[in-house]
Structure 1
């Protein structure tokens, strides 16, 4: 186990949050912390229900799991 604060033991989560923060700032451009708080649930909704992922046959995670087509 690596020391505290080193992302080597948590690569998949670090990768997700890196993507999440990047997309959040590109899509919503929050000006202050209140804008960011409002944008986070919208970004989570987009990621889970709308954002296509190649490894899931170009479907979003939730539609892929329940077997519906977009």
Structure 2
């Protein structure tokens, strides 16, 4: 993060939380906090390991990072 508190510092995490709310939180109902916690943990795993992105050439973030490390 920059010293002066540049608004772009939070852009990546705000984008993730917006996606989390749109794709998971608002589409489900939770009866307990434990259900919510497990669901968020499952969604984070899905987001990193299974969710493909066009910006990453149709790969998940983990697949893209693994492929990029193999090329280097």
- TM-score when scaled to structure 1? 0.70
Counterpart in the other structure of 2:17: 17
Query: Unaligned regions of 5+ residues in structure 1, if any?
Result: 3-7
Q: 4+ runs of 1 displaced by more than 6 Å?
A: none
RMSD after superposition = 1.9
Q: 5+ residue gaps in structure 2? A: 68-72
Pairs aligned (count): 61
Are 2:55 and 1:60 equivalent residues in the alignment? Answer: no
CA deviations on 1:11-49 (whole Å, 9 max, x unpaired) are 2321211111222222x5323311101111100110011
Q: Give the alignment's TM-score, normalised by structure 2.
A: 0.69
